[in-house]
A = this chain, B = another copy of it.
Amino acid sequence: MKRENLIENIKSKGSFLCVGLDPDIKKIPEHLLREENPLLAFCKAIVDATAPYCVAFKPNLAFFESMGVEGWLALEDTVRYIKENYPDQFVIADAKRGDIGNTSKLYARGVFEHLQADAVTVAPYMGEDSVTPFLGYPGKWVVLLALTSNKGSHDFQFIQDGEGHRLFENVILASQKWASSDELMYVVGATQGKMFEDIRAVAPDNFLLVPGVGAQGGSLEEVVKYGMTKDCGLLVNSSRGIIYASTGADFAEAAGHEAAKLRDQMAGLLKEYGVID
A: which residues have CB within 8 A of B?
22, 24, 60, 62-63, 65-69, 71-73, 76, 94, 96-104, 106-107, 109-110, 113-115, 123-131, 145, 148-157, 159-162, 167, 170-171, 174, 211, 216
Contacts and interface: CB of A to CB of B under 8 A. Distances in A.
Contact of A159 (B62, B129, B152, B159): B159
Given A60-B103, A161-B159, A150 B167 contact: no
Task: Report which residue of A24, A76, A125 has the largest number of chain B beta carbons within 10 angstroms of its beta carbon.
Answer: A125
A184 to B, nearest CB: 15
Number of copies: 2
A72 B149 CA distance: 30
Given A72-B72, A96-B126, A127-B155, 15 more contacts: A60-B99, A62-B99, A62-B104, A68-B72, A68-B110, A96-B99, A123-B123, A125-B145, A127-B153, A127-B156, A130-B152, A131-B152, A156-B170, A160-B161, A160-B162
Contacts of A68: 72, 76, 110, 114-115
A106 B65 contact: yes
A159 B170 contact: yes
